[in-house]
């Protein structure tokens, strides 16, 4: 289901980019060029504006639908209920000097000290 929705979303995105690039702008863009064509003047502006609005609405709808579907598979969890003994993989053991210890004035890392009694 999700892969079908992603493909539809990508097709809408490609069509939206194409329609936006075909529109006439003040400074010149892909829409400017030779005379003739299958639509000219006001009819083209109205059709391209309507197509842009429809494709924009489809883009937002498919993006929201994908986020809702992605949220269905997640189980609720609480950060507060996690045990405090869980260590992240980035934490170092107590005996190893950290990067901040190496940056102290003097250049040498501080040696670990034994606890005093």
Number of domains into which the chain is organized: 1
Residue 58 located in a structural domain: yes
pTM beyond cutoff 0.75: no
Residue 70 located in a structural domain: yes
pLDDT, one tens digit per residue, over 32-56 is: 555 555 555 566 678 888 999 999 9
DSSP state for residue 62 in the 8-state scheme: H
Residue 11 located in a structural domain: no
Write out the residue range of the structural domain in which residue 60 sits.
Answer: 43-74
Residue 52 located in a structural domain: yes
pLDDT, one tens digit per residue, over 71-93 is: 887 777 777 877 766 555 556 56
Residue 8 located in a structural domain: no
Cα–Cα separations (whole angstroms), residue 52 to 18, 20, 43, 69: 10, 7, 14, 26
């Amino acid at each position: 289901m999700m892969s079908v929705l992603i493909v539809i979303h990508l097709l809408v995105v490609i069509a939206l980019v194409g329609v936006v690039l075909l529109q006439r702008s003040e400074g010149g863009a892909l829409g400017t060029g030779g005379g003739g064509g299958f639509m000219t003047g006001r009819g083209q502006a109205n059709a391209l504006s309507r197509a842009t609005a429809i494709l924009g609405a489809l883009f937002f709808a498919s993006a929201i639908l994908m986020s809702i579907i992605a949220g269905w598979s997640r189980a609720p969890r609480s950060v507060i209920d996690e045990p405090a003994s869980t260590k992240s993989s980035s934490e170092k053991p107590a005996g190893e000097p950290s990067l901040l210890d190496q940056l102290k004035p003097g250049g040498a890392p501080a040696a670990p000290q034994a606890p005093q009694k």
